[in-house]
Amino acid sequence: MSANGGEFFLAGDDLLIGGKRLGSRFFLGTGRFPSPAVFQLALEASAAEVVTFAVRRVNLDYTEDDSILQHMAGRSYTFLPNTSGAGNADEAVRIAKLARAAGLSDWIKVEISAHPRTLLPDPIETLRATERLVKEGFTVLPYTSDDPILCKRLEEAGAAAVMPGGAPIGTGLGLLNPYNLGLIIEEAGVPIIVDAGIGSAADIVQAMELGADGILVNTPVAKAQDPVGMARAMRLAVEAGRLSYLSGRIPKRRYASASSETEGISISSASGGAAGGSVSAGSPHEAAAGEVQRSLPEQP
């Protein structure tokens, strides 16, 4: 890691998934952008190397002419097709095989929603699909709920990374259960990519400071008032949160702690102190009071 600052501050802190080394920990979705041109600019601003899209939105018969993929032509990305729209493991496996047969990728994000209003993932079908796709040779990244036990089961099933949601898709509610995410990260033997529910750069910093290995977003960038600006903000948030995590935060304390040493400092007391003399600062509050007293104008 460089200490020079700037955009390569985290150079060398690569993310390894399924044998592929990634320089960026920010994954971007392709849906709901106001125009292809805005998407392209946001993608550049994000510096994302992994791009996800719903297989059902891609023309599998003519992928070279597809409206989504055309806008990424000529640049090197890792495609992460997802099985959005699948209602069970059978459908997810079928979609994954179609994507691979069309030459899109052997990476697949398993996404099986069980409820039309919340779009929360079906845990049982997600686990089944992951087990089957791993046996088929896919690099599987399942989207799941923030259940620590389920995330561990997905890892044991062979997932290359696990993608717990911070909140339901598209809600922008942020991390509803940081405690659970912390447990998932603590127990994980594969990368944890926080997916869904992110609303702002602040949510990303929180997730990365918890120790998440990466972030996937779509709606909070695509539907922002300035998608390009938000893409850049979120990219910086990923880097800031990661750097903060690596640097190590201070432990939380119940009571105040002075930020400078007070031993050996003599100041005038706020109440006049000893006549014509000085007193040792007994507490940070007394030291601060002395500073204020010295800065006040003399009274007539």
Residue length of the chain: 300
**Sheet holding 107-110: strands in order across?**
163-164, 139-144, 107-110, 78-82, 50-54, 26-29, 214-217, 193-195
Running DSSP on this structure, what letter comes out for residue 112? Answer: B
- Phi–psi pair at 196, nearest 5 degrees: 80, 145
Q: Where are the beta strands (DSSP E) in 50-133?
A: 50-54, 78-82, 107-110
Query: Of 97, 109, 152, 223, which residue is the catalytic one?
Result: 109
Active site residue 109: yes
Query: What is the token pair recorded at 267?
Result: 């100041």
d(CA 69, CA 163): 23
Q: Is 254 exposed, middle or buried (0-12, 13-18, 19+ CB in 10 A)?
A: exposed
Instruction: Give, for 134, the enclosing helix (H) or strand (E).
Output: helix 123-135
- Which residues are known to be catalytic? 109
